[in-house]
Amino acid sequence: MKEILSGNEAIARGAYEAGCIVACAYPGTPSTEILENTIDYKEINSSWAPNEKVALEVGIGASFGGGRALVAMKHVGVNVAADPLFTLSYTGVNGGLVLVSADDPEMHSSQNEQDNRNYAKFAKLPMLEPSDSQECKEFTRLAFELSEQYDTPVMLRTTTRISHSKSIVELGERVTGLPVPKLVKNAAKQVMLPGNARVRHPLVEERCTVLSEQGSTMALNRLELRETGIGIITSGVCYQYVREVLPSASTLKLGMVYPLPHALIREFAASVDKLIVVEELDPFIEEQVKAMGIPVIGKEIISRCGELTPERLSAVFAKIGIVATGTPAQVQLDRNEPSLPQRPPNMCPGCPHRGVFFTLNQLKAYVTGDIGCYTLGFMPPLSAMDTCVCMGASIGMSTGVTKVVSAEERKKVVAVIGDSTFLHSGINGLMDMVYNQSPATVVILDNRITAMTGRQDNPASGFTLMNDPTHSVDLPLLCTALGVKHVRTINPFDLEQTRTVLLEEMNRPEPSVIITDKPCVLVKRAGVFERGPLLEVSEEKCTGCRACLKIGCPAIEWCPGDGKTGKALINPQLCTGCDVCRQLCKFDAIGRAK
Ligand SMILES: Cc1ncc(C[n+]2csc(CCOP(=O)(O)OP(=O)(O)O)c2C)c(N)n1
């Protein structure tokens, strides 16, 4: 049977067909839908972990126990999981373990565009890179087999285009007859004390050599000889672009981008006149080919930044006099479609984060921020976020700032972090804050969900990925247990309360935590978010002072009127009745809709 699947759906299907029994992840674009699809297969125990390190550790446990395990994360998530990953490379596996790294060239939804192929080389483990959804499925299955055959975790790298594009996939059956998981002690292999690890390291090196040799005959590395004037080494989505732009060129399509199949590369180089590597981001393949003593064209014509497209690739080839002969579908589409209006990202109407950032702006706070929907607090008119580096960084950074500025400036320092991000990696920062008595104030924006990545549950939301009710972390109790003496809960829609509590805690020269307790408007369960009575603007009372526009709510529109005195208007389709704008109107012009 055939189905049209996205890359992420196909990876989930591949895991199912491979007999995978455990899947664990922390959400992050473009990887999130993998676990949102493994839940469709009841044979796979799927769960969200609080962060990527824990997700990988769950996978390692399942593998050591003898089951096949899939672990998924976005590229920056691998930084979080890197510690167990590097040593897992030494221990190897029992049941196959596949780690999906979903990279994001062009940073469609990320804070950097690191090239995670480097992780494969750094951690000395094989990495497969599919070029379409069919390969996403097949390579996932193959990755489990290679993992067990070579006793290694296998990384499967996708990019946003591969994760989110849809193409036809031929479905297969789930494998049967895999060994039944059971506890087997093997300390020499699984306890990485120096004495044991020293024995494992040479095996890791040998494994890389063997994989490189055997890679030359593996079907996933494919030599396609056509015209021999130009030969292109490529992988992933770039392979599709090369085929579209230069259909007559010979290609070496690498399905395994680490370790590289040296013999096959030499054979290809010897069969073509001019060798080019087409790859996004780092010169990962290029540098290794050059290190083999083979001259190759690469990053002198292709940018190290952003993603490629067929159009960009045509322009790249033109630089060295190669004329694109294909007619890429994408190019046609781009030229014919009218461009969409620009829509800057904005918090939703009724978002409980809005009032907090409005108040922080008014208090001229120095806000060490974090990653989530609330990062939009950086945008005008709220303009109340001063830093954003990585998940969980806000609290530690606030401590750092207070260590260097004057006593007066210290009072301005506020860390802002979401519930999911706090549980991901903010807890340690708070522990340090108490331990080292930082005077900063932490605001935990508890909207009961991991909103930014699509409303996934987390350990404080009370439900699992499978939608089963579970314990929900009591955030005030947790902060108290960490030693915070001043933990206060506020209603972020009450601007007066928000301002008073923020001011009190900012002025207190001790660690303090303020927790907001209103849910995300898009929270998926009934009864959590309640729409308030809708608001409307009285045309007579509105003076056109624009005070209500200062919160940047998309539900408030501006009617220019005769051009001199415009008036505000509340769109009833968008208003949630959060009541924040009413509190800003000095003329009592905003009230409940009749
Ligand atoms: C290491 C890492 N993992 C995952 C992500 C993707 N990501 C960005 S913000 C976020 C969580 C946001 O949830 P929360 O803190 O609850 O804030 P909300 O969006 O609900 O306001 C996630 C998973 C990331 N940027 N970095």
**DSSP state string for 209-265:** HHHHHHHTT-TTSEEE--EEEEEEEEEHHHHHHHHHH-TTEEEEEESEEES--HHHH
Residues with CB under 6 A from ligand 1: 26-28, 52, 74, 76-77, 80, 371-374, 391, 418-421, 445, 447, 449-453
Nearest CA to ligand 1 atom 21: 373
CA–CA dist 264, 222 (Å, integer): 9
CA of 472 to the centre of ligand 1 (A): 18
Long-range own/partner contacts, residues 163-166 (CB < 8 A, 24 or more apart)? 163/6, 163/7, 163/8, 163/30, 163/31, 163/33, 163/102, 164/6, 164/7, 164/8, 164/30, 165/6, 165/7, 165/132, 165/133, 165/237, 166/4, 166/5, 166/6, 166/133
For residue 257 the two structure tokens come to: 């981008």
Residue 336 confidence (pLDDT): 65
Task: Tell me the C-alpha to C-alpha distance, in Å, between residue 29 and each of 152, 160, 262, 337.
Answer: 26, 8, 33, 26
For residue 593 the two structure tokens come to: 């809709």
From 353, 421, 523, mutation site for ligand 1 pocket: most ligand atoms within 8 A of C-beta? 421
Residue 327 confidence (pLDDT): 73
Atom of ligand 1 nearest to the CA of 445: 21
Quickly tell me which residue has 């300390």 as its tokens.
187
From 33, 346, 351, 371, mutation site for ligand 1 pocket: most ligand atoms within 8 A of C-beta? 371
CA of 417 to the centre of ligand 1 (A): 10
For residue 375, the 8-state DSSP code is G
Residue 179 confidence (pLDDT): 97
For residue 424, the 8-state DSSP code is I
Nearest CA to ligand 1 atom 2: 77
Amino acid in position 54: V
CA of 25 to the centre of ligand 1 (A): 13
Atom of ligand 1 nearest to the CA of 110: 25
Residue 573: CA count within 13 A, CB half-sphere? 2
Q: What is the pLDDT along the chain (594 residues), one digit of tens a residue?
A: 999 999 999 999 999 999 999 999 999 999 999 999 999 999 999 999 999 999 999 999 999 999 999 999 999 999 999 999 999 999 999 999 999 999 999 999 999 999 999 999 999 999 999 999 999 999 999 999 999 999 999 999 999 999 999 999 999 999 999 999 999 999 999 999 999 999 999 999 999 999 999 999 999 999 999 999 999 999 999 999 999 999 999 999 999 999 999 999 999 999 999 999 999 999 999 999 999 999 999 999 999 999 999 999 999 999 999 999 987 665 455 556 677 888 888 999 999 999 999 999 999 999 999 999 999 999 999 999 999 999 999 999 999 999 999 999 999 999 999 999 999 999 999 999 999 999 999 999 999 999 999 999 999 999 999 999 999 999 999 999 999 999 999 999 999 999 999 999 999 999 999 999 999 999 888 888 888 999 999 999 999 999 999 999 999 999 988 767 799 999 999 999 999 999 999 999 999 998
Closest by CA to 469, choosing from 478, 479, 459, is 459
For residue 50 the two structure tokens come to: 């609080």
Instruction: Check if the beta carbon of residue 487 is closer than 8 Å to that of residue 512.
Output: yes
CA of 72 to the centre of ligand 1 (A): 15
CA–CA dist 121, 148 (Å, integer): 19
For residue 36 the two structure tokens come to: 């949102």
Residue 562 confidence (pLDDT): 76
CA of 551 to the centre of ligand 1 (A): 23
For residue 376, the 8-state DSSP code is G
Amino acid in position 303: S
From 32, 420, 465, 517, mutation site for ligand 1 pocket: most ligand atoms within 8 A of C-beta? 420
CA of 391 to the centre of ligand 1 (A): 7
By CB neighbour count within 10 A (0-12 exposed, 13-18 middle, 19+ buried), where does 135 fall? buried
Instruction: Check if the beta carbon of residue 325 is closer than 8 Å to that of residue 246.
Output: yes
Q: What is the pTM of this model?
A: 0.97
Task: Tell me the C-alpha to C-alpha distance, in Å, between residue 568 and each of 19, 49, 458, 544.
Answer: 59, 44, 38, 7
From 54, 423, 450, 517, mutation site for ligand 1 pocket: most ligand atoms within 8 A of C-beta? 450
CA–CA dist 26, 59 (Å, integer): 12
CA of 29 to the centre of ligand 1 (A): 9
CA–CA dist 186, 200 (Å, integer): 13
Closest by CA to 262, choosing from 293, 224, 303, is 293
CA–CA dist 540, 506 (Å, integer): 40
CA–CA dist 169, 546 (Å, integer): 54
Q: Are strands 256-258 and 127-128 parallel, antiparallel or unpaired?
A: antiparallel
Distance of CA 483 to the CA centre of its chain: 31
From 453, 457, 458, 472, mutation site for ligand 1 pocket: most ligand atoms within 8 A of C-beta? 453
CA of 79 to the centre of ligand 1 (A): 14
For residue 360, the 8-state DSSP code is H
Would you call 546 helix, strand, or coil by DSSP?
Answer: coil
CA of 450 to the centre of ligand 1 (A): 6
Closest by CA to 550, choosing from 357, 385, 269, is 357
